[in-house]
Structure 1
Amino acid sequence: MHDEPLPPGQDGQESPGADQARSGTSLTDDLVALLEDGKTYLEAEAAYQKSRAGFVADKGKWGIVHGLAAFALVHIALIGLVVGVVIALSRFLTIWGATAAVTGVLLLGGYLFARSAIRHFKEAGASFGDDSP
């Protein structure tokens, strides 16, 4: 336990305004200081959010650039695969037959994916329909 002397006052107790009298501040001064601190906080927060938005924009820009580059390379690789399949099948079919077979399979796959996409879009659109019974 600390044995510190009590601050001056009657019977070891201070009067209600003794602390304010010693520090020289009033409630108005405290409120003004609080408002200034709030203003400083808001300015700092705005600067932080502005720098964070710039950081995200920069990273997002480069993410889009790299994503587009990856898409282009994958697209070119798939074109190479299709050409390779046509060349490989031309030994068993004529070149025109191999081209027709590969084109037919790709069109069938595209049709099936398009039907699936339309079904999903219709289901999503139906969720925005009238909810009344």
Structure 2
Amino acid sequence: MQEAHGQTGAKGAGDGSPDPNDIVTEDTGETPDPQFDPSLLEEASALIDNARTYAEAELGFQKTRAAFAGRLVGASLGLVIVALILLHIAFLALAVGLVLAFEPLAGIWGSIAIVFGALIAVVVLLGWGAFKRAKKLASLFSSPDEESS
């Protein structure tokens, strides 16, 4: 056991090595805080730098994703507009075709009246359905005392 005290680097009660808690700084004559570690500042600084780098990377990613989504929305909107235009043309062609199909049966003016009347009936039915749903939606957001009036 005595040999361990004589070895370099072995710490013992009487080996003369200073205890870190007993170190006195020469500048102030005070003992330093035993829990203060200069590497903590370095780690905190590295953590802040990492957080800043992460935030910048995340911001860049979100900007890129938003730009990509914007391009997709723009392209999709363009496709929807073209599809609606083509649908409108198709309905016009259907109406003209129906007028031509009914022409031998009811004459040109009669076939126009039949197709026009049928289209107006469809518009009225669609409008009535939309009105009923709008009324139901309004009742969802109205207070109970407003419903009775």
CA 1:9/1:53 → structure 2, altered by over 3 Å: closer, same or farther?
farther
Per-residue deviation, 1:75:
0.9
Runs of 4+ in 1 over 6 A off after TM superposition: none
Look up the equivalent residue of 2:112 and give its one-letter code: T
CA 1:9/1:50 → structure 2, altered by over 3 Å: closer, same or farther?
farther
Aligned with 1:101 (options 97, 109, 114):
114
Alignment length (residue pairs): 112
2:98 is the counterpart of 1:85: yes
- 1:54-65 aligned within 5 A: 54-65=67-78
Aligned with 2:41 (options 20, 28, 34):
28
2:83 is the counterpart of 1:70: yes
1:15-55, Cα deviation, whole Å (9 max, x unpaired)? xxxxxxxxx96222211111110110000000001011111
2:119 is the counterpart of 1:115: no
Matched residue SS, 2:105: coil
Matched residue SS, 1:94: helix
Per-residue deviation, 1:70:
1.1
**TM-score normalised by structure 1 residue count:** 0.77
- Higher Cα radius of gyration: 2
Q: CA RMSD in A?
A: 2.0
Q: 2:44, 2:10 → 1: CA distance? A: 27
Report what 1:40 is aligned to.
53
2:140 is the counterpart of 1:127: yes
Per-residue deviation, 1:131:
5.8
Unmatched tracts of structure 2, length 5 or more: 1-8, 12-36
1:60-114, Cα deviation, whole Å (9 max, x unpaired)? 1111111111111111011001100000101100111111011111101100110
Per-residue deviation, 1:9:
7.9
